[in-house]
Amino acid sequence: MVLTFIFAPRKKLRAMSFELRMISPEACSLKPGAIKTNYMSKKIKELLGDKADYLLSHQSKTISKDQLHLPGPDFVDRIWINSDRNPHVLRNLQLMYSTGRLANTGYLSILPVDQGIEHSAGASFAKNPVYFDPENIIRLAMEGGCNAVATTFGGLGFLSRKYAHKIPFVVKINHNEFLTYPNKFDQVMFASVKASWNLGAAAIGATIYFGSEESTRQLQEVSKAFEMAHELGMATILWCYLRNPAFKTKEKDFHVSADLTGQANHLGVTIEADIIKQKLPENNGGYLALNTKESAYGKNDQRIYSELTSAHPIDLCRYQVANCYMGRAGLINSGGASSGAADLVEAVTTAVVNKRAGGMGLISGRKSFQRPMKEGVEILNAVQDVYLDKDITIA
């Protein structure tokens, strides 16, 4: 390529020609992808430390990624358009997908704060008393770039006129009342679907304690609530949690086993939860451990463990995704309790596992609100960075 430039010195004009050659990456001893450094990927790798290669390079050989319905900018048009959800539900789903730092990616980052009831307000907010005021919960979700804020009916009701049009509201309609002595564990309705709609909610959220003695009643209550929510145009999110003393043995806590949580997810999407919230699996074999000669439990197939899962955390999480109708209902994993200095690493690790498994995002609360707001925003943003990073792909 030859270009001619004309210069005009003080005394006379002079024409000069220059030949410009494109220099290839190979000529600079650089690999083709090395010219542009992905700062975000580098930061995530640093946070993952010695687990970086284990999590970022894993290729799943269980359920093929080609069989999954993966998140994307067109998720509502691609997945929900043929469903029985009415146009108002589709609009509210799209509203959540179009809000915050993850807008138009198909991924979700939701701030959930219902621990004031679930774990008592004092125990939840003592670390950071400003969150006794629900306005700070909403502010944290907005400043943290979240797609939505999920909290109590009372908290959102106090501030609906000020914020319902600024960030999607998810009203948590049932809770575990934690004041009865001795403590009991049962999800009961705290709010009505109609009242949630009246305050401008885009979605409702509910919990079922699958495996508990009360689960049949909870299943019926939540199913009816979800039906009404869809009629009114709201989306539905189900906390698919396990609760049974028998699930925790001397060896393992099978409340977080892939096979049992996967089945809970499958029950959740069957009552038309649009989004499933589930704890990240930490082990497997809950059915095997509980189904003994002394006590028959459930139905099982060895291929769950030999073909559909492996010991790798991404494969365990993928089994959860598969039980959400192969990802038609998005799986968002919970961020878990705050453990202090390790919160950032734990949150980013969970996000990487969820994304690479085929999940739809993270719903992280205590790691964010049990610290100063600036630090809470940083953790929320770090999680979102995982989903924004195009170098972190489906395994």
| DSSP 3-state of 24 | coil
Confidence of residue 14 (pLDDT cuts 50, 70, 90): very low
Handedness of CA 169, 172, 178, 179 (dihedral sign): positive
- Give the burial string for 225-235 (b: 16+ CB within 10 Å, else e): bbebbbebbbb
Strands 14-19 and 2-7: antiparallel
* Rg of the chain in Å (alpha carbons): 25
What is the pLDDT averaged over residues 345-360?
97
Number of C-beta neighbours around residue 295 at 10 A: 8
Cα–Cα distance between 107 and 109 in angstroms, integer? 7
Q: What is the pLDDT of residue 9?
A: 47
Q: What is the pLDDT of residue 36?
A: 38
What are the DSSP E strand ranges found in 173-310? Answer: 174-176, 187-189, 203-210, 235-242, 275-278
* Predicted local distance difference test score (pLDDT) of residue 293: 75
26 compared with 120, residue with greater pLDDT: 120
Give the pLDDT score at 292: 84
**Which pLDDT tens digit goes with each residue over 264-310?**
999 999 999 999 999 999 999 999 999 987 888 999 999 999 999 99
What was the pLDDT predicted at 12? 44
Residue range 201-212, pLDDT digits in tens: 999 999 999 999
Q: Are 343 and 379 in contact (CB under 8 A)?
A: yes
250-268 pLDDT per residue, tens: 989 999 999 999 999 999 9
Residues 34, 40, 45: CA angle, nearest 5 degrees: 85
Q: What is the pLDDT of residue 40?
A: 79
Per-residue model confidence (pLDDT) at position 236:
98
pTM for the predicted model, two decimal places: 0.89
| More confident of the two residues 350 and 12 | 350
Q: Which of 45, 194, 224, 277 is catalytic?
A: 277
pLDDT in tens, 146-202: 999 999 999 999 999 999 999 999 999 999 998 999 999 999 999 999 999 999 999
pLDDT, residue 17, reads 41
Q: What is the pLDDT of residue 26?
A: 38
Band (322; pLDDT cuts 50, 70, 90):
very high
Q: What is the pLDDT of residue 364?
A: 86
Active site residue 277: yes
Residue 366 pLDDT class (50, 70, 90 cuts) = confident
Mean pLDDT of 369-380: 92
Q: Which of 119-128, 131-140, 208-217, 232-241 is least confident?
A: 119-128
